[in-house]
């Protein structure tokens, strides 16, 4: 006779993210001891970690942490939305962020090597992967240094953790406007902070396409140069943050909003799960 209840199975499933049948089998083998059942799921799960390496991780969450003059944004990935909203998976993201901040990791290599609970972040992720039964990975990390930070995390579904996140490093005192800039970035998805950051070959290609289009449209030769520059400016408005129209007021550019509020954006990052 089973010496555990349906509530125990449900609690074990919520704690580990493992399937219902796996949780029942683990509790059977552990004679109702929840902690032993967790360990059994972990041991059995470790055997399948290598088999899961080829799987795709299209779900997960975005999380952020500010620690002094450094801000961090991460994407922690998993296979299913069921695991994405699992409490252990969400807790794992917080553990990773804390470990990353403690060592000041600036890239993935440093992040996965960061110590946590007597092991590395990479080992911790492997252990949780074994218990949950899905491939988990720290897919992306960025570190920004600045005087102040604005963080915006967006839930695309009310029952899931944030799937979209923005971190903005800035100087200035208008935190409300800085937060609205972070929200704007989440919507407008700029790629660069200045025009100078746009790769020269990308600019040259846009200029070439604009010129070819103008000629194919039969525009007067003397007007082509002006038309090309106008279309190139239009391109910059799609990829360069200060050139973009402010999402809250299309009559204003982000450059004007920053000037009016006395803000200077030093750097920004935008992550969306699976992109």
Residue 119: CATH number of its domain: 3.30.479.20
pLDDT at res. 111: 96
Residue 255 lies in a domain: no
Q: Nearest 5 degrees, angle CA 266-CA 268-CA 272?
A: 180
Nearest to residue 237, comparing CAs of 253, 248, 252, 222? 253
The answer to the question of residue 39 being in a domain is yes
29 shares its domain with 94: no
Residues 129 and 153 in one domain: yes
Q: Does 40 map to a domain?
A: yes
Kindly state whether residue 231 falls inside one of the protein's structural domains.
no
Q: What is the pLDDT of residue 270?
A: 98
pLDDT tens digit at each of 275 positions of the chain: 467 777 777 777 766 666 667 777 778 877 788 788 777 766 665 444 445 555 677 899 999 999 999 999 999 999 999 899 999 999 999 999 999 999 999 999 999 999 998 999 998 998 888 888 888 999 999 999 999 999 999 999 999 999 999 999 999 999 999 999 999 999 999 999 999 999 999 999 988 888 888 878 777 887 888 888 888 999 999 999 999 999 999 999 999 999 999 999 999 999 999 88
**Can you tell me the distance from the alpha carbon of 152 to that of 12, in angstroms, rounded to the nearest whole number?**
32
36/64 same-domain check: no
Distance CA 269, CA 275 (A): 13
Same domain, 85 and 30: no
Considering the domain architecture, whether residues 76 and 181 belong to the same structural domain is answered as: yes
Residues 41, 152, single domain; the answer is: no
227 occurs within a structural domain = no
The domain tally of the chain equals 2
In order of 89, 102, 244, 267, the CA distances from 97 in angstroms are: 13, 9, 31, 19
Rounded to two decimals, the pTM is 0.79
Give the domain range for residue 149.
59-192+263-272
Shortest CA distance to 103 belongs to which of 90, 116, 93? 116
Same domain, 76 and 152: yes
Which residue carries 């030769």 as its tokens? 221
Is 24 in the same domain as 148?
no
pLDDT of 178 reads: 98
Q: Cα–Cα distance between 135 and 228 in angstroms, integer?
A: 48
Tell me, yes or no, whether 129 lies in a domain. yes
pLDDT on residue 46: 46
d(CA 260, CA 246): 13
Residue 47: predicted pLDDT: 45
The verdict on 185 and 85 lying in the same domain is: yes
Q: Is residue 17 part of a domain?
A: yes
Q: Are 74 and 141 contained in the same domain?
A: yes
The answer to whether residues 72 and 148 belong to one domain is yes
pLDDT of residue 45: 57
> For position 54, what pLDDT does the model report?
56
30 and 117: one domain?
A: no
CATH for 32: 1.10.8.10
* SS3 state of residue 68: coil
Residue at 218 is within a domain: no
């Amino acid at each position: 006779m089973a010496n555990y209840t349906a509530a125990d199975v449900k609690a074990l499933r919520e704690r580990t993210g493992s399937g219902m049948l796996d949780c029942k089998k683990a509790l059977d083998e552990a004679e109702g001891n929840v902690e032993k059942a967790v360990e059994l799921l972990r041991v059995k799960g470790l055997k399948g970690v290598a088999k899961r390496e080829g799987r795709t991780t299209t779900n997960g969450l975005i999380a952020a942490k500010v620690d002094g003059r450094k801000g961090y944004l991460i994407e922690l990935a998993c296979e299913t939305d069921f695991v994405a909203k699992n409490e252990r998976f969400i807790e794992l993201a917080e553990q990773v962020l804390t470990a990353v901040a403690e060592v000041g990791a600036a890239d993935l290599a440093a992040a996965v090597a960061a110590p946590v609970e007597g092991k590395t972040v990479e080992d911790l992720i492997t252990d949780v992967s074994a218990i949950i039964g899905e491939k988990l990975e720290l897919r992306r990390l960025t570190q920004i240094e600045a005087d102040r930070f604005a963080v915006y995390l967006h839930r695309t579904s009310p029952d899931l953790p944030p799937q979209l996140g923005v971190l903005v490093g800035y100087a200035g005192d208008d935190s409300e406007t800085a937060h609205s800039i972070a929200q704007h970035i989440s919507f407008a998805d700029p790629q660069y902070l200045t025009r100078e950051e746009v790769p020269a070959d990308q600019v040259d290609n846009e200029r070439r396409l604009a010129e070819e289009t103008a000629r194919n449209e039969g525009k007067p030769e003397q007007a082509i140069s002006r038309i090309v520059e106008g279309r190139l400016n239009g391109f910059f408005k799609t990829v360069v943050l200060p050139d973009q129209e402010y999402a809250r007021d299309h009559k204003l550019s982000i450059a004007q909003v920053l000037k009016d509020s006395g803000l200077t954006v030093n750097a920004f990052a935008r992550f969306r799960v699976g992109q």
